[in-house]
Structure formats: C-alpha cells, structure tokens
Amino acid sequence: MPQMSRQDPLIEHHTVDYVPLAERHGKARDLFTLWFSTNIAPLPIVTGAMVAQVFHLNLLWGLLAIALGHLLGGVVIALASAQGPRMGIPQMVQSRGQFGRYGALLIVFFAALIYIGFFISNIVLAGKSIVGIVPSVPVPASILIGALSATAIGVIGYRFIHTLNRIGTWVMGSALLAGFAYIFAHDLPADFLTRGGFNAAGWLATVSLGIIWQISFSPYTSDYSRYLPADIGITRPFIATYLGATLGTILSFAFGLVAALATPEGTEAMVAVKQATGALGPILMVLFLLNIISHNALNLYGAVLSIITSIQTFASHWTPGIKVRVVLSGIILAGCCVVALGASADFIAQFIGLILALLLVLVPWASINLIDFYVIKRGVYDIASIFQADGGVYGRFNLHAIVAYFIGIIVQLPFANTSLYVGPWANLVDGADLSWLVGLAVTCPLYYCLATRKHTQKVRAVKLGYSD
C-alpha cells in the first residue's frame, strides 16, 4: 500500500462519516492493546471479587467460570470489531444498513444512554479514587479533574486513544502481573484454596456475567477499527480483538477473585486489593485511576458519535467535523458533572444496575448485527445508501429487523433478573440472569428467517416477471 505523504493528524477530524481508503492507518495489533488495556481496571476487578464474595465459588471453579464466560462472549465483540475495516464507519451508523435510516434511531438512543451512564459512573469513581490517593483534594474538584481529563482524551479522538492504550497494555499488564506475584509470594490464608466450593447457580451466574460483559462492548467496537486498512481482512482484526478483550478481562476478574480469597472473608473488593498487594497497593491505585480516566474517554467518544448519528439522521447533507465533536463533548461534560456532583453515596451501584438492565436491548441488536453482516450480506453493504436521506436500498425502516428486535427483547423479559425488573422465571437458576441466552436463541434464527424470506420473495418476483 502506498505511503502517505503526510503524517496522520493527532486530533481526529472525522465523526460519523466514511473514512476514505487513503486515510486508513494502523495495524490489527492496535485492537489487542486497546481492548486488553481497557479491561484492566477497578470495575472488572471488583466484579471478579464477586465470584467468591457473592457467588461463593472456590478458586478453581471460579477461574473456570470466568475463563469460559469471557471466551464465549468474546466471540461477539471480536465479530463486531472485525466489521470496522470493511465498513469504514461507526457501529451505530452501520445499523442503518440493518434497521433502515430511521429504524436505527432507537438502538442509537439506547447506546448513547449506556455510554453516558458509564461516563457518569466512572467520573464519580475517578473522583473517589483521587480522594483516596490525595485526601486533601475536595470531592467536587476530584470529580471535575477526572471528567476533564477523560474529555480531553475523547476530544483528541481515535489516534490518541489507541496510543494511550498501547502504553497502558505494558504498564497495566506489568502492574497486574506484579500484583499476582506479590500475593503468591506472601503467606496466604489457610482457606485460600478451600473457601467456597462449587454450586451450579453461582457457576452459571459467573459464566453469564462474563458473556454479558463482552456483549456490552459490542455497540462501539468498530468505532476503533474503522480506520484500519480495508484490505486487512476479517481474521486479523477478529483475533486481535478477541485475544485483547478476553485476556484483559480474564486477568482482571481473576485478580479480583485472588485478592478476595487472599484477605479475610467479607473484605470490600478494592480494600482487599490494597491489603493483598502490600507496598504495591498505592502504586496500583494510581494506575487504576489513570486507567479509569483513559477508559472513560471511550464512553464519551461513543456518546458523542451516537448523538451526532441521531442528529445526522434528520440532516443527511450535514457532515459534522471536529468543532461539533468539541461542542457536544463540552455539553455532555457539563451535564454529566452536574449529575455526578449531586450523586448519592450508592449512585454507582444504582446506575450500573440501570445500565445492566438496558443490556436487554443490546442482545437482540448484536444478534441482528452479526447475522446480517456475516450470514445475510456477507460484509457487502452500499455505503452511499447508508448516508442517503431516504436510506437508499435500506429504506427508512426495515420492518423485518425491527420486528425481530422487539420480539428479541420481549422473550427475555420473563427470564430477566435485573435491579429494575425481575421476571417470573428469573430464578430458574438462582442468581443467574439467563435472559441473554433466550434473546440470542430466538433473535438469531427469527431474523435470519425473516430476512431470507424477503430475499426469496424478491427472487421469485423477478423469475415470475421473466416467465411472463
């Protein structure tokens, strides 16, 4: 491929428009470092500690459930990520090729809500982390520092996000391995290997948690692969994303589990990390803070792209640039800071519960996205139609996708086990939310049948026309 005569700009100027082939850059390994570094953070570590503290699994069964859940769920995020180089557009814009120009708006709205929810939760968490490291800094100032830092990264955009995560892979990966080494080099509790045991409910709940964790990233994975050269193929981005996302989360979940078992039962997760890692504890806390800020830039970046996608749906000739991205980032920053500064003590737990409940709407979307891209259209989309005011060949609404999407949500409700709603069959396996499994099992074949039936009808109509 010919070399570009100029260096690619640090500050990204594209938003939701197509990335021309001449501006493509990067390598598949960039996806490994992005998703590996992103997932070495306090939230997955705290979640990993739940395997022992809430689901009461021992070390062996806990590690097996963690690994299986993320290895299965990682297939979804990797398949979504591999679409980016082929399409050259953000994931939510691509949804127009499946749901129609206006039909995709609902999915874009939910995605934006999830991004903003996580952004608020993470700036609260960053603020608390700053106070924990430097107690003299007031909480409001700490929240603002965390929010402004993440916003600066998000505004600069794609290239800087990838650069930070390339550095973060080495720094965070080394720090986590050092933490493991410290724990195992010191005396462990007598019940380290025997605390907990095996129970089917806890094991299935841990596997489900890993799968849901990976699926939750799928709405914005191709946002970070769309600049890769189009001829890079599917396999290399898939493998790089899969290995990065699964290894990063498995290590973090496992670290949380090990730290919980290495400290007295009932110790709060991050306190357990500090206690178990001794002198390394303060260093890890600082690195975790930096990782929270870096990861939160992804949430802001995704929220901005989703909002621009929504507005651009009604203004097909509008191609927003960096100024729009900066203004929207500032508006989101201001609104989220107001919410975060007035947040209650249990705000993070409540908001994470809300966001996890919204994952009910992501499972059928992911099902339709993957079936449409890999089975129905096999990666061939009309990019020009995606940006046309009438939706081009995809129309304003694709009723087959919309019907399959809503049925995919409805069939999950009886099995849902969330903070907002608990279905009548939610406790078939105590503590395990298996609604995602029902959603996948119903939506995938339903959408395939509806989409191929539409194609078959068109072919039959053409044949009948020729026969006349």
Closest by Cα among 439, 448, 452, 453 to 76: 439
For residue 143, the tally of other CB atoms under 10 A from its CB is 24
Q: Which residues pair with 422 in a beta bridge?
A: 417
Amino acid at 55: F
Does residue 304 contact residue 154 with C-beta atoms inside 8 Å?
yes
Supply the pLDDT for residue 128: 80
State the residue for tokens 């029902």. 438
Q: How far apart are CA 109 and CA 92, in angstroms?
A: 10
**Max mean pLDDT range (71-80, 105-114, 163-172, 303-312):** 71-80
Q: What share of the chain in percent tops pLDDT 90?
A: 42
**Max mean pLDDT range (106-110, 178-182, 324-328):** 178-182
CATH of the domain at 201: 1.10.4160.10
Residue 124 pLDDT greater than 50, yes or no = yes
Q: How far apart are CA 161 and CA 333, in angstroms?
A: 18
Whether residue 252 lies inside any domain: the answer is yes
Supply the pLDDT for residue 153: 84
Q: How far apart are CA 250 and CA 262, in angstroms?
A: 18
Per the model's pLDDT, the better-predicted residue between 350 and 465 turns out to be 350
pLDDT tens sequence across 375-432: 999 999 999 999 999 999 999 999 999 999 999 999 999 988 877 788 888 877 766 7
Supply the pLDDT for residue 344: 62
Closest by Cα among 132, 174, 124, 172 to 288: 172
Question: For 300-315, what is the mean pLDDT?
Answer: 88
Supply the pLDDT for residue 422: 84
> Helices 435-467 & 362-370, crossing angle to 10 degrees?
40
Supply the pLDDT for residue 122: 83
Q: How far apart are CA 372 and CA 79, in angstroms?
A: 12
What is residue 226's three-state secondary structure?
Answer: coil
pLDDT tens sequence across 308-364: 889 888 987 887 777 888 888 899 989 888 888 887 666 666 666 666 677 788 899
Closest by Cα among 390, 422, 343 to 128: 343
Q: How far apart are CA 313 and CA 400, in angstroms?
A: 20
Q: How far apart are CA 248 and CA 47, in angstroms?
A: 13
Question: For 446-458, what is the mean pLDDT?
Answer: 78
Closest by Cα among 198, 218, 207 to 67: 207
Whether residue 40 lies inside any domain: the answer is yes
Residue 107 pLDDT greater than 80, yes or no = yes
Does residue 158 contact residue 84 with C-beta atoms inside 8 Å?
no
Whether residue 122 lies inside any domain: the answer is yes
For residue 382, the tally of other CB atoms under 10 A from its CB is 13
Q: Which of 162-166, 199-203, 302-306, 464-468 has the lowest mean pLDDT?
A: 464-468
Q: How far apart are CA 267 and CA 265, in angstroms?
A: 6
Question: For 54-78, what is the mean pLDDT?
Answer: 95
Does residue 159 contact residue 322 with C-beta atoms inside 8 Å?
no
Supply the pLDDT for residue 32: 95
Q: How far apart are CA 129 and CA 147, in angstroms?
A: 13
Q: How many residues does the chain have?
A: 468
H/E stretch holding 119 reads: helix 105-133
Q: 315 is written with which tokens? A: 């203004």
Q: How far apart are CA 49 and CA 55, in angstroms?
A: 9
Does residue 90 contact residue 342 with C-beta atoms inside 8 Å?
no
Whether residue 389 lies inside any domain: the answer is no
Would the pTM of this model clear 0.85, i.e. be above it? Answer: yes
What range defines the domain where residue 84 resides?
A: 23-352
pLDDT tens sequence across 219-256: 888 888 998 999 999 999 999 999 999 999 999 999 99
Question: For 63-89, what is the mean pLDDT?
Answer: 95
314, with CB counted inside 10 A (0-12, 13-18, 19+), is exposed
Into how many domains does the chain fold? 1
Supply the pLDDT for residue 317: 81
Whether residue 77 lies inside any domain: the answer is yes
Question: For 194-209, what is the mean pLDDT?
Answer: 90
At residue 458 the predicted structure's pLDDT band, cuts being 50, 70 and 90, is low
At residue 467 the predicted structure's pLDDT band, cuts being 50, 70 and 90, is very low
For 103-124, b where at least 16 C-beta lie within 10 A, e where not — what string? Answer: bbbbbbbbbbbbbbbbbbbbbb
DSSP letters for 126-176? HHHHHHHH-TTS-HHHHHHHHHHHHHHHHHH-HHHHHHHHHHHHHHHHHHH
Which sign does the torsion angle of CA 438, 443, 444, 449 carry?
positive
Per the model's pLDDT, the better-predicted residue between 79 and 131 turns out to be 79
Whether residue 11 lies inside any domain: the answer is no
Q: How far apart are CA 173 and CA 165, in angstroms?
A: 11
Whether residue 282 lies inside any domain: the answer is yes
Supply the pLDDT for residue 285: 86
Q: What share of the chain in percent tops pLDDT 70?
A: 91
Closest by Cα among 211, 204, 192 to 60: 192
Whether residue 128 lies inside any domain: the answer is yes
Q: 313 is written with which tokens? A: 């749906």
- Please list the helix, strand and coil fractions of the chain in percent, rounded to the nearest 5, in that order: 70, 0, 25
Residue 203 pLDDT greater than 60, yes or no = yes
Supply the pLDDT for residue 348: 61
Question: For 174-185, what is the mean pLDDT?
Answer: 94
